[in-house]
């Protein structure tokens, strides 16, 4: 319940034992722990709630249990990380910091590793934007050099391996690693790979793939060197801030961090972590108006403070000054602060009101026509089908006796299966597949669909447009062309078009490889070809795994608007 109010979703309550037995079977689970685990869904932008430390702190502040989460981090002697120009092309940014005299327990250590992994998956976009490396500072010595070298020239003993490999060897070694192989593509085809050395030439890491074994951290590690390399500097800073703010409470002097100086190729230096506290000023009226509440300025400041945003009324009117801590990188606009006030107030405590917005409703004319036609086509004895807009190339081309190159089809570049290769250019294949899946039903089968197909169209900004089609099929022991023809006559009657050449409608012999020769006609309405009807070619019937004769009609309904 508390979680719900705070915007967290308690997914399930389980234990390691249950998870393992579900995934791997009961036998393997016997040794696992019975400790109850709470799986919690965290909003995707709240990186500060990804570890237990942050979550507990956030909830305690929310419940007024502790006034404010402390994280003033005084400066200690600096640590330099040199940045060399070669990294520019592959992974141009690096930031670093040191946690001194930290005390790990098994639980803290696990949480520390887990946070890194979660950040890697989340904000770091599977290490492509940012990669985190953590090292036992007592095994290495600064200043460190961040550079990039040819894969053959990098050689070190990687984490948890017993011998040295060159970077080239490592890339092939990890091809089969279920975890690391997902990150190889990030640098694989680059001429130079990023690498970090200490002053003695010891390799700390080859980001974003693997750390060196030499500097690996353990439960006994006292001083942790954290480096983040990145393609996105803002995210690198956020990730570093997150790592140090979450775990600095385990330092001998809680909530302290030692800074690192990063020297850039151009000689410019920067101090990290930034741990930037930002102040925003906004009015109580703004919050009240946007949320739809009426609270005093002091009350609102208190609400915000409960959300880890230390706030106070400045006294100048209803002005509130809000301090945004480095842990809340999600706050980028006053509306984010407003949301926190609403959450602290409780969404479900807000009075539900009706806006006085006066408007007159209009239907989209094409949809209005579609709705009306559907009703009458069902009344004419045809049953409505509903098929996918995506299909295989084969469905719209080969199976209909056509060539894909001749279709104005839109092609998908990343389909997971053949079912999603193209957007349909005709409704006919969908209806024929529906019949094939319902062959056991009593004959005749009479189906229709009114829906959109997609066609390439150079005149549109995206180079394609939808076209609203009406398609119907009749499937029985005899082709029943007269039935489909009758349906066309009925449709035209409904659309107030008379059978006549010129201003009315008429049909006229056509050649189409989808249809049986001599049994196909074009539909002309006011002199314009709007579609086609006929008896399907036996080859088409076979390719859709059907056995009976079938006649079909497909036409564009947009000309009737």
Partner 1 sequence: MADTGVLETLLQRVEKVDDGVDSLAVATSLGVDHQVIVGAVKSLQALGDVISAELRSSKHWELTEEGTEIAEQGSHESRVFSCIPQEGLAQSELMKLPFGKIGFSKAMSSKWIRVDKAHEGGPRIFRTVESIDDQVREKLLLVQKGHSTQLEEKEKNELKKRKLLSEVTVKSYWITKGNSFSTTITKQETELTPEMIASGNWKEKKFKPYNFEAMGVAPDCGHLHPLMKVRTQFRQIFLEMGFTEMPTNNFIESSFWNFDSLFQPQQHPARDQHDTFFLSDPAHAHEFPQDYLERVKKVHSEGGYGSQGYKYDWKIEEAQKNILRTHTTAVSARMLYKLAQQEKFTPVKYFSIDRVFRNETLDATHLAEFHQIEGVVADYGLTLGDLMGVLHQFFTKLGITKLRFKPAYNPYTEPSMEVFSYHEGLKKWVEVGNSGVFRPEMLLPMGLPEDVSVIAWGLSLERPTMIKYGINNIRELVGHKVNLQMVYDSPICRLDS
Give the x/- contact pattern for partner 1 in 183-212, rule: CB under 8 A: ------------------------------
Binding of residue 548 to partner 1 (CB under 8 A): no
CA 540/CA 512 separation, integer angstroms: 12
Pairwise CA distance, residues 93 & 227, whole Å: 10
Q: Is 532 in the site for partner 1 (CB under 8 A)?
A: no
Q: Cβ 451 to partner 1, closest distance in Å?
A: 9
Candidate residues 216, 456, 485, 490; the one interacting with partner 1 per rule CB under 8 A: 456
d(CA 145, CA 263): 10
Residue 8: CB atoms within 10 A of its CB come to 18
Judged by beta carbon, residue 4 or residue 38, the one nearer partner 1 is: 4
CB proximity list for 277: less than 8 A, separation 6 or greater: 323, 324, 325, 326
Of 365, 376, 367, 363, the closest CA to residue 496 belongs to 376
Least separation, in Å, of the C-beta of 343 and partner 1? 5
Neighbours of 142 (CB within 10 A): 18
182 binds partner 1 (CB under 8 A): no
Out of 33, 103, 141, 375, the only residue in the binding site for partner 1 (CB under 8 A) is 375
Find the shortest distance in angstroms from Cβ 43 to partner 1.
4
User: Closest Cα partner for 204 from 277, 115, 131, 112?
Assistant: 131
Report, in Å, the least distance between residue 59 CB and partner 1. Answer: 13
Compute the least distance from the CB of residue 542 to partner 1, in Å. 17
Q: Is 378 in the site for partner 1 (CB under 8 A)?
A: yes
536 touches partner 1 (CB under 8 A): no
Kind and range of the H or E run holding 263: strand 258-263
Pick the closest to residue 137 from 257, 259, 252, 224 (CA basis): 224
380 binds partner 1 (CB under 8 A): yes
Residues 227-246 that bind partner 1 (CB under 8 A): 232-235
Q: List binders of partner 1 among 9-68 (CB under 8 A).
A: 9, 43-46
Q: Kindly state the smallest distance separating residue 207's Cβ from partner 1, in Å.
A: 18
> For partner 1, which stretch binds (CB under 8 A), given 66-74, 249-257, 366-374, 505-513?
366-374
Which 3 state secondary structure label does DSSP give 223? coil
CB of 150 to partner 1, least distance (A): 27
Find the binding residues for partner 1 in span 286-345 (CB under 8 A).
Answer: 289-293, 330, 332-336, 338-339, 342-343
Q: Does 462 bind partner 1 (CB under 8 A)?
A: yes
Assess 403 for contact with partner 1 (CB under 8 A).
Answer: no
Instruction: Select from 99, 257, 377, 396 the one that contacts partner 1 (CB under 8 A).
Output: 377
Output 80 or 380, the one with its CB closest to partner 1: 380
Q: Cα(544)–Cα(206) distance, rounded to whole angstroms?
A: 54
* DSSP letters spanning 42-101: --TT-GGGSSHHHHHHHHHHHTTSSS---------S-EEEEE-GGGGGT--EEEEEEE-S
Residue 416 in the binding site for partner 1 (CB under 8 A): yes
Q: How far is the CB of 125 from partner 1 (least distance, A)?
A: 6
Smallest separation, CB 153 to partner 1 (Å): 30
Nearest CB to partner 1, comparing residues 218 and 351: 351
529 sits near partner 1 (criterion: CB under 8 A): no
Tokens of 297: 């300025």
Residues of this chain, 427-446, that bind partner 1 according to CB under 8 A: 430, 433-434, 436-438, 441, 445-446
**Strand, helix or coil at 520?**
strand
Select from 33, 103, 314, 367 the one that contacts partner 1 (CB under 8 A).
Answer: 367
Q: Minimum CB separation from partner 1 for residue 282, in Å?
A: 9
Q: Report the b/e string of 405-424 with b at 16+ CB within 10 A.
A: eebebbeeeeeeeeeebbbb
405 lies in the site for partner 1, by CB under 8 A: no
Calculate the dihedral angle through the C-alpha atoms of 485, 491, 494, 500, rounding to the nearest 10 degrees.
-50
Does 561 bind partner 1 (CB under 8 A)? Our answer is no
Q: Which stretch binds partner 1 (CB under 8 A): 187-195, 210-218, 298-306, 463-471?
A: 463-471
Rule CB under 8 A: say whether 461 interacts with partner 1.
yes
Q: How many CB atoms lie within 10 A of CB 24?
A: 11
Please tell me whether residue 411 binds partner 1 under the rule CB under 8 A.
yes
Cβ at position 202, least distance to partner 1 in Å: 33
CB 322 within 8 A of CB 282: yes
Beta carbon nearer to partner 1, 384 or 398: 384
Subset of residues 117 to 176 that bind partner 1, contact rule: CB under 8 A:
125, 129
Within 13 Å, how many C-alpha atoms sit on residue 410's CB side?
19
DSSP H/E element including 173? helix 167-173
Does 448 sit near partner 1 (CB under 8 A)?
yes
Verify binding: residue 410, partner 1, rule CB under 8 A.
yes
Nearest approach in angstroms of CB 45 to partner 1 is: 5
Name the token pair of 511: 């050649």
Rounded distance, CA 61 to CA 45, Å? 19
Is there a contact between 483 and 474 (Cβ–Cβ < 8 Å)?
A: yes
């Amino acid at each position: 319940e508390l979680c719900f109010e705070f915007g967290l979703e308690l997914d399930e309550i389980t234990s390691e034992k249950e998870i393992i037995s579900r995934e791997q079977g009961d036998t393997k689970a016997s040794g696992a722990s019975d400790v109850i685990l709470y799986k919690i869904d965290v909003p995707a932008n709240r990186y500060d709630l990804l570890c237990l430390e942050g979550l507990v702190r956030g909830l305690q502040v929310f419940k007024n249990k502790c006034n404010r989460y402390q994280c003033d981090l005084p400066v200690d002697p600096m640590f330099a990380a040199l940045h060399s120009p070669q990294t520019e092309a592959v992974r141009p940014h690096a930031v670093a910091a040191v946690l001194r005299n930290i005390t790990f327990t098994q639980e803290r250590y696990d949480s520390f590793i887990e946070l890194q992994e979660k950040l890697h998956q989340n904000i770091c976009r599977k290490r492509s934007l940012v990669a985190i490396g953590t090292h036992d500072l007592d095994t290495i010595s600064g200043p460190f050099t961040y550079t990039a070298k040819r894969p053959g020239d990098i050689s070190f003993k990687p984490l948890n391996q017993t011998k040295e490999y060159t970077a080239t060897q490592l890339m092939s070694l990890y091809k089969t690693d279920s975890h690391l192989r997902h990150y190889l593509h990030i640098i694989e085809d680059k001429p130079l790979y990023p690498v970090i050395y200490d002053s003695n030439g010891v390799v700390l890491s080859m980001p974003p793939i693997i750390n060196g074994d030499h500097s690996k951290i353990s439960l006994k590690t006292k001083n942790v060197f954290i480096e983040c390399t990145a393609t996105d500097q803002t995210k690198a800073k956020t990730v570093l801030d997150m790592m140090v703010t979450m775990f600095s409470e385990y330092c001998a002097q809680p909530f302290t961090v030692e800074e690192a100086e990063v020297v850039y190729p151009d000689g410019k230096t920067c101090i990290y972590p930034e741990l930037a506290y930002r102040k925003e000023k906004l009015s109580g009226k703004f919050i009240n108006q946007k949320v739809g509440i009426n609270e005093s300025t002091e009350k609102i400041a208190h609400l915000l403070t409960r959300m880890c945003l230390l706030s106070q009324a400045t006294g100048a009117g209803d002005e509130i000054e809000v301090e945004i801590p480095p842990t809340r990188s999600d706050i980028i606009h006053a509306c984010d602060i407003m949301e926190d006030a609403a959450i602290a107030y409780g969404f479900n405590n807000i009075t539900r009101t009706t806006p006085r917005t006066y408007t007159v409703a209009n239907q989209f004319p094409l949809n209005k026509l579609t709705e009306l036609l559907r009703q009458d086509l069902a009344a004419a004895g045809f049953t409505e089908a509903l098929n996918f807009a995506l299909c295989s190339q084969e469905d719209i081309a080969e199976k209909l006796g056509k060539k894909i190159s001749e279709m104005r089809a839109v092609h998908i570049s990343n389909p997971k299966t053949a079912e999603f290769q193209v957007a349909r250019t005709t409704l006919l294949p969908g209806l024929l597949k529906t019949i094939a899946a319902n062959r056991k039903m009593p004959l005749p089968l009479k189906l229709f669909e009114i829906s959109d197909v997609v066609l390439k169209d150079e005149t549109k900004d995206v180079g394609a447009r939808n076209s609203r089609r009406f398609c119907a099929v009749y499937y029985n022991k005899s082709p029943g062309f007269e039935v489909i023809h009758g349906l066309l006559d009925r449709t035209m009657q409904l659309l107030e078009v008379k059978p006549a050449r010129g201003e009315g409608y008429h049909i006229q012999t056509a050649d189409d490889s989808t249809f049986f020769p001599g049994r196909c006609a074009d539909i002309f309405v006011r002199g314009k070809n709007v579609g086609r009807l006929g008896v399907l070619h036996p080859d088409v019937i076979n390719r859709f795994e059907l056995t009976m004769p079938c006649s079909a009609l497909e036409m564009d309904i947009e000309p009737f608007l």
